[in-house]
Structure 1
Amino acid sequence: MTGAAGLRIGLGWAASGRPGSYAPLARYAEENGVDELVVYSDLLFRPPLGPLLEMAAATDRVQLGLGCLTPFTVHPVEIAGQVAYLDAASGGRAHLGLVRGAWLHQLGLDQRRAITAVRETADIVARLLRDDRSGMNGTVFQLAAGLGLQYDVHRDRIPLVIGTWSPRMAALAGEIADEIEVGGTANPDMAKVIRDLAAPGAERAGRDVDDLVVSFNPMLVVDEDRSAAEALARARGAMYVEAVGHLDPTVDLDPDLIERIRDLLADGDEEGAGRLVPAALLRRFLVCGTPSDVVDHLVELASAGVDKVYLGNPFGLDERRGLELLVERVLPAVRAAST
C-alpha cells in the first residue's frame, strides 16, 4: 500500500478529440510530472490505440494504458496485437486493461460468461506474447495449436489491469492481474473493499494481495471557484452516481433519489439531475473543488490504500486550465504531503 508521496497520478479519458490533438496533451502532461496516460475503449468513442500511438510518439517516460478493452467487442487475438504494437511503439511503456464492458446490452451482446471470457482473453494474450504455440481450448475462446504472432514483440509480458466493481471479477484480478481498477469512484472506503474482494483470488494463486496495485478512475473538476467547479461536477457526474452508485457497498443510496436522477438524465437534464446529488455523495464518485480541495481528497485516497488515481476529463471548467491547476498546484502538493 502507498502513502501520499507514493501515489501515482495519471490522466484517463474516453477519446473524442480530433486526430493530432493528443500528442501536445501527452507532451505537456509528461513534462509536468504526470505518471500515466490511459485511453479507455468506451462504447462509440474513438478506439484508444490511435490516440495512444500519438502519445507514444510525443513522449519518452510516461506510461501508456490501453484501457478497458472487452473481448465481447474485440477478439483476444486482436487485443494482443493492439497492445503489442503500442508496447513496441512506446519502447515498453504499455499496459493492458480488460473489463467485462459497459452498455453492451445496447448491441444485443451476451455477456453471461464474462469472468471466463476475461480469464481466457488474458491467457490468450499472454500465450501470444511469449510465443507459446501449444494452443488453448477454452469455453468462450479457442486458440489452435501452432498459431502465433507473425512479428517480434517488444516484451513477452505486458502488465495486466482488470477493471471491475464485481466481487468475482475482483477475485480474478487478485489471481492473475498486476492491477485492479475501479472506475467512477473517489471513495476512500472502496480501497479496502476492493482489495478484500481480490484477496480470495490472490490466495488461490499463492500471491500477496497487498502486492496488487489498486487504482481509481474518477472524474476531475478543479478550479479556484469551488462553487463553479462543484456545479459542473454535479452536471457531469450525476450519471456516475446513477450508474455505479448501487455497486458501492459503503454508500447508502435513497432509491427514490436515484430514480429521480435517472428520470432527469433520461430527459437530458444533466444539470437538474446534478442538483439532486448531495455534496458529500458527489465526492464519493468524483474529485472536485479548489486545488486545495483536490489535494486533500487525493491524500485521503492515498492514505486509504489507493496506489494510483487516473483523473478523468473535463479536468476543469476549461480543460487546459484544469490541467494547468493539476500540474502546477495539485501534483507538487500531493507529493510533498508526507514529507
Structure 2
Amino acid sequence: MVKDSEHGLEVGLGWAGAMRPGEYGPLAAYAEKAGVDSLIVYSDLMFQPPLGPLLEMANATKSVSLTLGCLTPFTVHPVEIAGQLAYLDAASDGRATLGLVRGAWLEKLGLDQRRTITAIRETCEIVTRLLSGDRSGFDGKVFTLGEGLGLQYSPRRTEVPLTIGTWSPKLASLAGELADEVEVGGTANPDMVEVIRRMTMVGTEMAGRPSDALEISFNPMLVIDDDGEKAEALARTMGAMYVAVVGAHDPTVELDPEMVGKMNALIADDDHEGAGRLISPGLLRKFLICGTPSDAIDHLLELEEAGVDRVYLGNPFGLDEDTGLRLLAEKVLPGLRSRGSREA
C-alpha cells in the first residue's frame, strides 16, 4: 500500500460489521472522498462476516484499500480465506488485503487454539499456494491441501498484502517473518511502537528481511467532538473495557490492580460509565484517541513521530457516528496533512 504523498501517516477506518446491508457503500464513498486511505471490516465473533460489507465498499469506491480484517483459521478454513480474498480482490480491481489473527473470545465456542502459530503459518502457506496456482498440495500439522487441488478460477493477483494482528511476541515474530504489516489493536500508545518492533525483529532477522520491511499499524477507537469534555466522557464509557482487558498486554503501562478489579466488577454489572470514571486522562489516551479535532491531530502526529505507519480508527468516531465522521473529514484529516507537511 502506498503512503499519502503529502503525509507519512496513513489513516484508515475500521468497523466490526453491524450495519444493515446497503449502508456500507455510501459510508465508504464518503470516507474515500474525505481522503481516508483504507477501510477494514473486522471478523469479530458474532458480528457480520466482513466479505459482504467489503463488497459493498468495493462497488462504491475506486482507490481505498479494503481489508478482510481479523480472520482466524479457527473459524474460517484457509481454503475459504483464500476464496474470500480472491473474490474481494477481483471485485475491487486489486485493492484487497488480508488480516489474520488468533481470534478472541473463541473459548466460548469450545475451540482449541493451542497451535496458533502453526495454524496461522500454515494458513499463509495455503493461501499463497492457492493464489499462485501451486497444485503440489500441502501436508501440515494442522491443515492439509490435497495434491492437485487448486482454485477453479484465475485470481486477480497472485500475491496480496498480509497483515497479522497481535499483542503476542510469538505471533509478532511470525509477522516479522511473513507479513507486510503488524497491527496492534486497541492501543494509541506511542510507547508500544518500539515494543512491537522488537517483537517483530525476531522474525525479520530469521527471514533475512530488513527491519523496516514490516509496517506497523494501530487500531484505536476515535471519539471526537468540538466539545472535548463530552467526547472524553463518552470515550471513558466506551473505552473502559479496552483499558481493563488490553491494558494487561501493554508492558509500558502500569495498572493499579485494585483499580482494575473495581473496573472489571463495574463492567460485569454493565456499569461502563462508572468503570470509565476510574480512568485518568493520561491513561485513557494510551488506549484511544479522544477530545477535540485538534486533540486528535496532536495524538496522530505523536503516533507518526513514534513510527506508526498506519492507523485504523474505530467507531463511534464521535458523540454520534455521522458527526464524528464529518469532523474527521472536515477538520482532522486536512489539519493532519497540513501540519504534517509543514513539520516534515
Please list, as runs of the form range in 1=range in 2, the aligned pairs for 1:1-339 lying within 5 A after superposition: 5-337=7-339, 338-339=343-344
Letter paired with 1:173: A
* 5+ residue gaps, structure 2: none
Aligned residue pairs, count: 339
Distance 1:281 1:118 in 2: 33
- CA displacement, residues 36-81 of structure 1 (integer Å, 9 cap, x when unaligned): 0000000000110000000000000111010000000000000000
Task: Considering Cα pairs closer than 8 Å and 6+ residues apart, tell me whether 1 or 2 has the greater RCO.
Answer: 1
Question: Which contiguous aligned blocks of 4+ residues in structure 1 show a shift greater than 6 angstroms?
Answer: 1-4
| Aligned residues of 1:162 and 1:177 also touching (Cα < 8 A) | yes
1:3 is displaced (CA, Å) by: 11
Distance 1:273 1:69 in 2: 30
> Sequence identity of aligned pairs in percent?
66
- Structure 1, 39-48 or 258-267: larger mean CA deviation: 258-267
Distance 2:257 2:138 in 1: 45
Letter paired with 1:79: I
- Structure 1, 13-22 or 3-12: larger mean CA deviation: 3-12
Distance 1:200 1:253, change over 3 A: same
Distance 2:248 2:267 in 1: 16
| Aligned residues of 1:241 and 1:285 also touching (Cα < 8 A) | yes
Letter paired with 2:20: R
| Aligned residues of 1:181 and 1:216 also touching (Cα < 8 A) | yes
Report SS of the residue matched to 1:199: helix
Report SS of the residue matched to 1:73: coil
Distance 2:187 2:268 in 1: 22
- CA displacement, residues 190-231 of structure 1 (integer Å, 9 cap, x when unaligned): 111101100010001110121211000000001011110001
- CA displacement, residues 113-135 of structure 1 (integer Å, 9 cap, x when unaligned): 00111110011000000011111
| Aligned residues of 1:191 and 1:214 also touching (Cα < 8 A) | yes
Report SS of the residue matched to 1:105: helix
Distance 1:94 1:119, change over 3 A: same
Q: Taking structure 1 as the reference length, what is the TM-score of the superposition?
A: 0.98
Distance 2:5 2:171 in 1: 26
Q: Taking structure 2 as the reference length, what is the TM-score of the superposition?
A: 0.97
Distance 1:122 1:207 in 2: 17
| Aligned residues of 1:4 and 1:302 also touching (Cα < 8 A) | no
Letter paired with 1:8: E
| Aligned residues of 1:2 and 1:303 also touching (Cα < 8 A) | no
Letter paired with 1:325: L
Letter paired with 2:285: R
Report SS of the residue matched to 2:7: helix
- CA displacement, residues 126-160 of structure 1 (integer Å, 9 cap, x when unaligned): 00000111111111111111110111100000000
1:334 is displaced (CA, Å) by: 1.1
1:336 is displaced (CA, Å) by: 1.8
| Aligned residues of 2:4 and 2:10 also touching (Cα < 8 A) | no
Letter paired with 1:291: P
Distance 1:228 1:22 in 2: 27
1:333 is displaced (CA, Å) by: 1.3
| Aligned residues of 1:238 and 1:274 also touching (Cα < 8 A) | yes
Distance 1:35 1:193, change over 3 A: same
Report SS of the residue matched to 1:5: coil
The CA RMSD measured in Å over matched residues stands at: 1.3
Letter paired with 2:293: P
Distance 1:71 1:141 in 2: 10
* 5+ residue gaps, structure 1: none
